[in-house]
Structure 1
Amino acid sequence: MFFAVFLLTIYFIFLIFILKKSYTKNSIYPILYIILFLPTYSFFQIIIYDISNEIFLVELIKYSKDFTIFSILFIYLFGRKNPLLNIKWKITNLDILFLLFTLTVFCFIVFQIGESNFTERIIYGKNLLLISSVYFIGRNINYSLLDLNYINKILVLLTIIACFVSIFEFLTNTHLHSLINYSSYYLDLYSIDPTGNYGLSWTFERPGPIKRYGSFFADPLEFSSFLLLGFSIGIYKIFKSNILVNKLYHCLFISIVIFGFYLSYSRSAILGGFLLLFFSLFLMNKFRLFINLFLLTFLLAFLIYYNSSLETKYFIIDSITFQNSSSLGHLFNWIQGILSIYDNPFGTGLGTSGNSISVDNEIAIGGENQFIIIGVQMGIVALINYVGLIIYSIYNSYKLYNLEKDKSLKYLPFIVCCLKFSLILPLLTSNAEIYTFISLFGWFFVGLNERRYSILKN
């Protein structure tokens, strides 16, 4: 119990430091909270519960995250010498889409739509409002080259540590989550029984059964989505570095990330990595390399398939044709969700779709596609709105990358553009916005991009 209190004391000192700096400085301190804490957000809760066995302490951590982000937004809106409301900046199309998205979520929280009660709607709705909050916080921050270099170093170090933790899991053949009583945490707090062959959940294994590892993230799916961020950083640094030693260093970094993809083994994230690679070549106008690499990838895929075992061939075919249990589960949930959208074009209410803990399984419809989840809960208009957020975040980042004259500042739009594009596949196959770190990090950086883009465009 003492150790739990000690860890929480350190955490709240860090939290107070971030809030104080957010009030006094126009800086990137809010992103430090996102980068340094949110990757271990779920893991930290499980550790605290494992040590203390106190649900109250877990709830304190959960709601401190919401309090911190909403407080920083409130500080930027009202609490500074030059609050956001007093700053004159041109409203962009992306701003309008975020305002509409926020208004839609508020309406679905306030009005009784669907079977969820008011408390359930607040719990689910505030998670969606966090997306808008971090965007508008980022929208109000000016960043410098020094800030970007600082962020880059932290992200690279975070990626390396996460990959080495998963490598340690692999070498010891032990899920880190098993050591901190992951299954007891979910059973005691959410009445979710352990499943699968390893006493955790089916997410922690692939057909075989073969273990897949989540490092210090909530699960392997969140870890694999995070690796897309590290992959985009590595690609950018390889092509933009003029020093051979640095190129070799970044090649080694990418090799570690690729091994992380193998250990977490999310098919959508792995395919997203290929999309990211080809899209990054397009972004940097390396069309000849794009064509050569595409042909080489196609040839290697054919050779690997041709020389693989029958079991591997059947696995690939069953995945493509939706005949294995995982793919079939995706297909069933997609059809169920699409039919619900057709029957209820204005939505069935918050908390009625998805596999978030705040969703009641007895009334849940669909859940394996972020776009369908939005459409089921808030209707076709909200679905179009959400798709617009994705499209504009990618398009405006692409435009900013081309507009930016300072080559050293091209880093940010490149990373955001590639990350958002590569996350499309995970969004199509999972409730990816519940991956706390990669979701809030991505939308925060979209806000940073949009501010810079609106300045350069005008």
Structure 2
Amino acid sequence: MIIFPLIFLLSFMYSMADIIKGNRQGVLLFFIFGLSIYTTTMSLSFVLGFKFLIPVFQPIKELLVLITLGIGIYQLKEKLKLNVVDYLMGAYFCYTLLYVVIPLGDYGFSDRLSAFKSTSFFPLIYAAGRFVDAGKVNISRYFHYILIVAIAATAVLVYELMSDLHFQTNTGYADYNFYYFGQEPTGNYGLTWTFETETGFRRFASFFSNPLEYAAATLLALAVIAGLYTDDENNLKISAFGQLALVSTFIAIVAALSRAPLVSYFGMIYVYAFITRKSYMLKTFHYGFIAAVLYFIFLIQNEDIYSFVVDTITFQNASSVGHIVEWLAGIDAMIRQPLGLGLGSSGKVAGMLGVNVGGENQFIIIGVQAGVIALVLYLLIHIYLLTYTYKWIKILKGNERKIAIMLFLFKIGSVVPLLTTNFENYSYVIYISWFLSGIFIKSITTQRTAHD
């Protein structure tokens, strides 16, 4: 088990060495190998007697981002050409920073600062990537690393399925969460309710923090496969390694036992077929959908399955009802307080204290805390990134195009998770996607400057 803290530490050291040498993209090595096992590393350090290392390990990810950003600014040799996304990022960061200073709400400065880090650190990750030239990044190398993580995660998942035991049961997950965050074990398996369905079936997280982050990581891996193996003429040529990774993502998403990630997974495949004009994939998808509908018609003759399908469609099952209740509470709070209730009133901080308001939707979490203006800025950031990545897929070549395809598909796949979870808490996918978003915007502003 000590292998996880060792991988965490080594990936940090290698990334730091790369950054010092001037290779700022080296921070991706830690984002990929370190953040995928972040919670496992923390909990194992706790139970293995290395508790003194946890305060050192916890801020490492933010420290690396700040160092990378600082070096990027220091080494800047010409005026940075700004994009709409840059202005939106800056406006969102500065606006929400005001809520740290202003004593709005029931939470103290330290809680507001913690909530700010949870909801507003991503502009700094983006900014760190903004100073990295895509032409100097061996994107194939890092994309392969992401697929290695996906395959390794599925290997752990297979162990969990065969043993019918959560990996987190052996890593001290519950003890770590109780000691540092005051979270009592919940659910039938001594972890949290996230690790099981409403019917009691186990949901596995492999070595990620929880099943929802694992599902998000699987969507990221699928987007990476599409970007990595699609050439400039839209030919899809997947190597044997890529096929293994693809099978791994399918096993993971099926075993997630969650409707939202499954919809996102197949939605990404459909969108990929559409943007790359793969008619055979679209036809297969359509025929498969028709077959699935006919199969469901056959299955709903079973009363239990019929009830499950009807409850899902009509939002009457416990999970869907829970989401709707939280959404309505959050929307009501935004109507009553359009400038927000203050940082900490929704999301991670409030969740730990058991007084969350609208904490099942990333957009509502931001709107409840910092108001409608912050929510609009956050929405515009996502809309512009989606628009730009889709547009520039048709223009860019090589590494830049691979990044554009990957980001576009991942943003599409993130829509449903953003509506149903506190998505910005999933460090692994957040740090990678926002850093690459910065590199992508750097690419298109450089292309525009060259054309001008």
Question: Is TM-score (shorter-chain normalized) higher than 0.5?
Answer: yes
TM-score normalised according to structure 1 size: 0.90
1:391 corresponds to which residue?
Answer: 383
Q: Distance in 1 between matches of 2:440 and 2:24?
A: 15
Verify: 1:255 aligned to 2:234, yes or no: no
Indicate if the aligned counterparts of 1:46 and 1:180 stay in contact, CA closer than 8 A: yes
Pairwise CA distance, 1:164: 1.2
Displacement of 1:393: 1.3
Q: CA RMSD in A?
A: 2.4
User: What secondary structure, in the 3-state scheme, does the structure 1 residue paired with 2:34 have?
Assistant: helix
Contact 1:426 1:432 in 2 (8 A): yes
Q: In the TM superposition, what are the counterparts of 1:293-312 in structure 2 within 5 Å?
A: 293-308=284-299, 309-312=302-305
Residues 1:326 and 2:323 are matched in the alignment:
no
Per-residue Cα deviation, 1:273-297 (whole angstroms, up to 9, x for no partner): 12211111222133x3465244224
Give the number of aligned pairs. Answer: 445
Distance 1:442 1:104, change over 3 A: same
1:49 matched to which residue of 2?
Answer: 46
- Match status 1:346 vs 2:342: no
CA contact (8 A) 1:115 1:363 kept: no
State how 1:405-420 maps to structure 2 within 5 Å: 406-407=397-398, 409-420=400-411
Counterpart-to-counterpart distance in 2, 1:31 and 1:336: 38
Q: State the alpha-carbon separation in 1 of the partners of residues 245 and 8 from structure 2.
A: 29
2:31 pairs, out of 34, 39, 54, with: 34
In the TM superposition, structure 1's runs of 4+ consecutive aligned residues that sit over 4 Å from their partners are: 6-14, 236-244, 246-249, 357-360
Deviation at 1:35, TM superposition (A): 1.0
> Is the Cα contact below 8 Å between 1:48 and 1:58 reproduced in 2?
yes
Report if aligned partners of 1:19, 1:72 keep a CA contact under 8 Å in 2: no
Counterparts in 2 of 1:18 and 1:231: CA distance versus 1, 3 Å: closer
Contact 1:163/1:256, CA 8 A, preserved across alignment: yes
SS in 2 for 1:144: helix
Q: What are the Cα deviations for residues 330-356 of structure 1, in whole angstroms up to 9, with x where unaligned? A: 0100000000000010111111112x2
The aligned amino acid for 2:45 is I
Q: Within the alignment, does 1:426 sit opposite 2:417 as a pair?
A: yes
Q: Contact (CA 8 Å) 1:397, 1:414: kept in 2 or not?
A: yes
1:228 aligns with 2:219: yes
Contact 1:123 1:358 in 2 (8 A): no
Query: Could you say if the C-alpha distance between residues 243 and 303 of structure 1 is closer, same or farther in structure 2, counting changes exceeding 3 Å?
Result: closer
Distance 1:15 1:291, change over 3 A: closer
The 3-state SS of whatever aligns with 1:52 is: coil
2:55 aligned with 1:65, yes or no?
A: no
Amino acid at match of 1:381: I
| 2:90 aligned to which of 86, 99, 102 | 99
1:275 and 2:296 aligned: no
Q: Distance in 1 between matches of 2:135 and 2:149?
A: 21
CA shift, 1:359, in A, is 4.6
- Provide the C-alpha distance between the structure 1 equivalents of 2:251 and 2:263, rounded to a whole number of angstroms: 14
User: 2 CA distance for matches of 1:451 and 1:243?
Assistant: 26
Provide the identity percentage: 25
1:60-209 equivalences in 2 (<5 Å): 60-78=56-74, 82-83=75-76, 86-144=77-135, 147-209=138-200
Which residue number in structure 2 is paired with residue 213 of structure 1?
Answer: 204
* One-letter identity of the residue aligned with 2:418: L
CA-to-aligned-CA distance 1:82-120 (integer Å, 9 cap, x gap): 23xx53121110000000011012111111111111010
Note closer, same or farther for the CA distance 1:123–1:294 as it changes in structure 2 (3 Å cut).
Answer: same
CA apart distance, 1:191: 2.1
Q: Give the distance between the partners of 2:158 and 2:38, measured in 1 at CA.
A: 21
Residue 320 (structure 1) shift? 2.2
- In structure 2, what is the Cα distance between the partners aligned to 1:162 and 1:91? 38
Q: 1:203 to 1:412 in 2, by over 3 A?
A: same
CA distance in 1, matches of 2:4, 2:310: 48
In structure 2, the residue matched to 1:367 is 359
Q: Tell me the distance in 2 between the aligned counterparts of 1:273 and 1:243.
A: 18
Deviations 1:21-80 (A, max 9, x none): 3243144111112112011111110110111173x43232112222222222222223xx
Tell me the CA shift for residue 126 of structure 1. Answer: 2.1
Q: SS of the residue aligned with 1:368?
A: coil
1:18 pairs with 2:10? no
For 1:116, what is the secondary structure of its paired residue? Answer: coil
Q: Deviations over 1:246-280 (max 9, x none)?
A: 45654443222111111222221111112211111
Task: Give, as a single letter, the amino acid of the residue that structure 1 aligns with 2:130.
Answer: R
Indicate the residue corresponding to 1:285 in structure 2. 277
Cα shift readout 1:313-335 (whole Å, capped 9, x = no counterpart) = 32222122121111111010000
Are the counterparts in 1 of residues 11 and 33 from structure 2 also a CA contact under 8 Å? no
Q: TM-score normalized by structure 2?
A: 0.92
The CA deviation at 1:238 is 5.9
- How far 1:158 moved relative to its partner? 1.1
Give, in whole Å, the separation in 2 of the partners of 1:11 and 1:254. 25
- 1:371 to partner: Cα distance: 0.5
Cα gap change, 1:283/1:457 in structure 2, threshold over 3 Å: closer, same or farther? farther
